[in-house]
Amino acid sequence: MNTIGNKIKTLRESKNISKSELARKIEVSPAYITMLENGTKTNPSLEILNKISFALDIPLDKLVNSKEKPVKNLKFDIFELMSAKEREKELHHKGQSESKEINTSNKITGKFTFNEILSDINSPTHLLKNFFSVDTDSLTDEQIVEIMNAIRFTIKLKLEEFKRDKE
């Protein structure tokens, strides 16, 4: 059963968007969309899922979460959709972050001033170093962009969860 592909196809068709148009919007080939929809490709990256939800103008949880599952399972659903490499990275990162002391500009409280946050947001490298204790010197620019996209994705998920809790 190809749930994610079926959802993409159903949502795409309900918005009268062709495969070619969706492919153009998310910067992939039309063949990739076909593979997703017919189940040949079953584990799209989080970045692709995020782009699809944006292109279809739908909340991300509507794309990755089924009606019969509660929102509480959303993180598990996303974890299942990750490729094996992404899951390994996530688990490795989680293990590292739990074993390290948070390295912040205010180590005692871990709280930041608005100006500290604002200055770090303007520089992804500073944000990763100061808020997440990431050794950015060992990362490529592409890896930093991937991490920032993951942060953006996580924030969008949390906002969707808050929105759903209000309903």
pLDDT digits (tens, 9 = 90+) for 82-93: 555 555 555 555
Domain boundaries, the chain: 93-166
pLDDT of residue 41: 84
Q: What is the CA radius of gyration of the chain?
A: 18
Question: What's the token pair of residue 77?
Answer: 């659903």
pLDDT of residue 130: 66
pLDDT of residue 92: 54
pLDDT of residue 72: 42
Q: Which residues of the chain have pLDDT under 50?
A: 68-77, 94-109
pLDDT of residue 2: 59
pLDDT of residue 21: 95
Q: What is the DSSP letter of 96?
A: H
Rounded Cα distance between 9 and 106, Å, is: 48
The string of pLDDT tens digits covering residues 28-43 is: 999 999 999 998 887 7
pLDDT of residue 104: 36
pTM score: 0.44
Question: What's the token pair of residue 124?
Answer: 């992804």
Q: What is the DSSP letter of 102?
A: P
